[in-house]
Amino acid sequence: MSVSPARAAAFDILLRVERESSYASDLLHSPVHERLSTPDHALATELVMGVLRWRSRLDAEIATASSQPLSKLDLEILIALRLALYQFLWLDRVPQRAALHESVELVKRARKRSAAPFVNAVLRKLSAAPHANNPTSAETASPESLARTLAHPAWLVEHWTREYGLSATRQICHHNQSIPATAIRLRTPTAEEEEQLHEEGITLAPGGLLTSARRVLSGDITKTHAFRAGHIVIQDEASQLVAALVGSTVPGESAHILDCCAAPGGKTLAIADRNPSAAITAVELHPHRARLLQKRLGTHQSQSAARIQIVTADALHLPLSRPFDRVLADVPCSGTGTLARNPEIKWRLTVDDLAELPQRQLAILRSALAQVAPKGRLIYSTCSLEKEENENVVEQALSENSFRLLDCRTELDRLKAAGELTWPDLASLTRGPYLRTSPGLHPCDGFFAAILERC
């Protein structure tokens, strides 16, 4: 029996995610897998993301049917088992027999033919066992049961419970196990009508936070003329909101704006679109990511993109000689606010990371603050839910520099008055003076932002 293209692709991607610490979303959109047919690409995406979201639940059930400890199994065997069990539990439209046999074939394809009888036996046991997928309130009544039932590391759930409470943590975990909506940003107010997206099979709904955003209800937005021409971009609404907090400089004035950690470039372009007369400097540490940033901005044949200068440099040692009116420090972070999109993060992250990451983040923030002109502003942001990477870093930097912390609520009120922000409960978007979007509460990823102004 041959292996379907979708299952073969899912198997290969999951192997690379584990072995190379790659990101599944990047691999799914790499040229080799983009050649899959639309139905096969959709199934491969479902399988990859489903296995990564529910990995600990899958492993716990596999362990009950395996004669060998999971730690002793070759990775190829474990991934084949996870793929089949995910289909047993969550894909009712897939016959169990087909899922079972294709996973056995995947093991053979991976040159683990001697393990095929073992995989077959384990999966036959699992196919006959009763399973329950829908958690009850009793199953999520404590951090431990919540972590077990909704497939999150126990230490991370306990950490969130201490910081946000059990109810909010339950919301976050439920959101992380769902398929997130695709959000786009309209680069011009008329892009939706002018491009006639409905004629290309695209159904859109208004964004949840911003008037410039739309949610994709159906259709492949990446196949549209508007996307290929750069008239619309895929960008989470929380990311769009952070770019909006950078603000708009005075039209006609030669303002200078710095984006310290620019790749992949979504915020850079959004800032440029908001500031048509400003000169933008986008800094990226890694040469290959700087090239990707250049390529991405090059697809947006517009005056905004033309005003962006890309510099390959370390944000800790910025080779810049002039001060900037606005600086965005969207620093590398744990990414715990994006687990619905990047579920592999939760299995890689450790307690030690939350001790080490803030040190680099603080160093980048110190370097970025030195670039701010008198009366200029810096926006510090992460897509992390962790206080260690957010408030603690900002407060430490403020204690060392002549800056004052502005209240993000003031900027949100300004965006609301300008008709840009549509979310009705502005108070829910802030935590003290900081911006804080919460997965499960807001229709977006979890982002943090602070606005610092040079005194």
CA neighbor of 448 nearest in space, from 338, 353, 372: 338
Predicted confidence at residue 289, as pLDDT, reads 87
Whether residues 69 and 109 fall in one domain: yes
**C-alpha triplet 301, 307, 312: angle, nearest 5°:** 100
pLDDT greater than 70 at residue 393? yes
232, burial (CB in 10 Å: exposed 0-12, middle 13-18, buried 19+): buried
pLDDT of 299 over the 70 cut: no
pLDDT mean across residues, the chain: 93
Beta bridge partners of 330: 381
Asked if residues 382 and 392 have their Cβ atoms less than 8 Å apart, the reply is: no
Residue 133 within any structural domain of the chain: no
Averaged over 1-27, what is the pLDDT?
Answer: 94
Query: For residues 1 and 208, which has the higher predicted lDDT (pLDDT)?
Result: 208
Same domain as 251, residue 225: no
Lowest mean pLDDT among 86-100, 113-127, 180-194: 180-194
pLDDT exceeding 90 applies to what percent of the chain? 81
Instruction: Name the more confident of 303 and 26.
Output: 26
Is 140 part of any domain?
A: no
Whether the predicted pLDDT of 306 surpasses 70 = no
Segments forming the whole domain that contains residue 77: 5-128
Q: Residue 134 above 90 pLDDT? A: no
32 pLDDT band, cuts 50/70/90, is confident
Encoded tokens for 354: 């939350």
> Is residue 30 one of the residues assigned to a domain?
yes
Write out the two tokens for 190: 């008329």
Tell me if 141 is assigned to some domain: no
Mean pLDDT confidence for 55-70: 97
Residues 261 and 204 in one domain: no
**Whether residues 391 and 319 fall in one domain:** yes
Helix axes 75-90, 96-109, angle to 10 degrees: 170
Are 332 and 361 within one domain? yes
**142 within domain boundaries:** no
Res. 302: pLDDT tops 80: no
Tell me if the bond preceding 433 is cis, omega within 30° of 0. Answer: no
Dist CA 182 CA 236 (whole Å): 7
Residue 138 lies in a domain: no
Residue 257 half-sphere exposure, CB side, CA atoms within 13 Å? 30
Backbone angles phi, psi at 256, to 5 degrees: -125, 130
Where is average pLDDT lowest: 9-18, 74-83, 181-190, 430-439? 181-190
Residues 40 and 106 in one domain: yes
How many CB atoms are located within 10 Å of the residue 310 CB?
20
Per-residue pLDDT band at 52 (split at 50, 70, 90): very high
State the pLDDT confidence band at 198, using cuts at 50, 70 and 90.
Answer: confident
For residues 77-84, give the mean pLDDT. 98
User: Can you tell me which residue has the tokens 């695209």?
Assistant: 202
Question: Mean of the pLDDT values across residues 39-64?
Answer: 97
Banded model confidence at residue 136, pLDDT cuts 50, 70, 90? low
Give the pLDDT score at 73.
97
Q: What CATH number did the domain enclosing 26 receive?
A: 1.10.940.10
Higher-confidence residue: 256 or 307?
256
For the chain, give the secondary structure using H, E and C.
CCCCHHHHHHHHHHHHHHHHCCCHHHHHCCHHHHCCCHHHHHHHHHHHHHHHHCHHHHHHHHHHHCCCCHHHCCHHHHHHHHHHHHHHHHCCCCCHHHHHHHHHHHHHHCCCHHHHHHHHHHHHHHHHCCCCCCCCHHHHCCHHHHHHHCCCCHHHHHHHHHHHCHHHHHHHHHHHCCCCCEEEEECCCCHHHHHCHHHHCCEEEECCCECCEEEEEECCHHHCHHHHCCCEEECCHHHHHHHHHHCCCCCCCCCEEEECCCCCCHHHHHHHHHCCCCEEEEEECCHHHHHHHHHHHHCCCCHHHHCEEEEECCCCCCCCCCCEEEEEEECCCCCHHHCCCCCCHHHHCCHHHHHHHHHHHHHHHHHHHCCEEEEEEEEEEECCCCHHHCHHHHHHHHCCCCEEEECHHHHHHHHHHCCCECCCCHHHHEECCEEECCECCECCCCCEEEEEEEC
The pLDDT of 436-450, averaged and rounded, is 97
**Per-residue pLDDT tens for 367-387?**
999 999 999 999 999 999 999
Which of 78-87, 196-205, 273-282 is predicted most confidently? 78-87
In this predicted structure, what is the pLDDT of residue 131? 74
Residues 359 and 226 in one domain: no
- Whether the pLDDT of residue 279 is over 80: the answer is yes
Between 75 and 201, residue with greater pLDDT: 75
Residue 137: per-residue pLDDT: 64
Q: What is the CATH number of the domain that holds 190?
A: 3.30.70.1170
Q: Are residues 249 and 279 in the same domain?
A: yes
CATH number of the structural domain spanning residue 427 = 3.40.50.150
What's residue 294's pLDDT? 85
* In a shared domain, residues 192 and 338: no
* 205 shares its domain with 252: no
Q: How many independent structural domains does the chain possess?
A: 4
Is there a single domain that holds both residue 153 and residue 68?
A: no
How far apart are the C-alpha atoms of 167 and 335, rounded to whole Å?
21
Residue 300 pLDDT > 70: no
Write phi, then psi, for 421 (nearest 5 degrees): -105, 125
φ/ψ (deg, to 5) at 71: -65, -20
Residue 122 lies in a domain: yes
- Of the segments 24-33, 225-234, 430-439, which one has the largest average pLDDT value? 430-439
My answer on whether 186 and 292 are in the same domain is no
Contact present, 213 and 240 (Cβ < 8 Å): yes
pLDDT (tens digit per residue) in 317-341: 999 989 999 999 999 999 999 999 9
Q: Compute the average pLDDT of residues 394-417.
A: 97
Residue 293 identity (one-letter amino acid): L
Is residue 137 domain-resident? no
Taking only the tens place, the pLDDT of each residue in 339-361 is 999 999 999 999 999 999 999 99
CA distance 142 to 129: 26
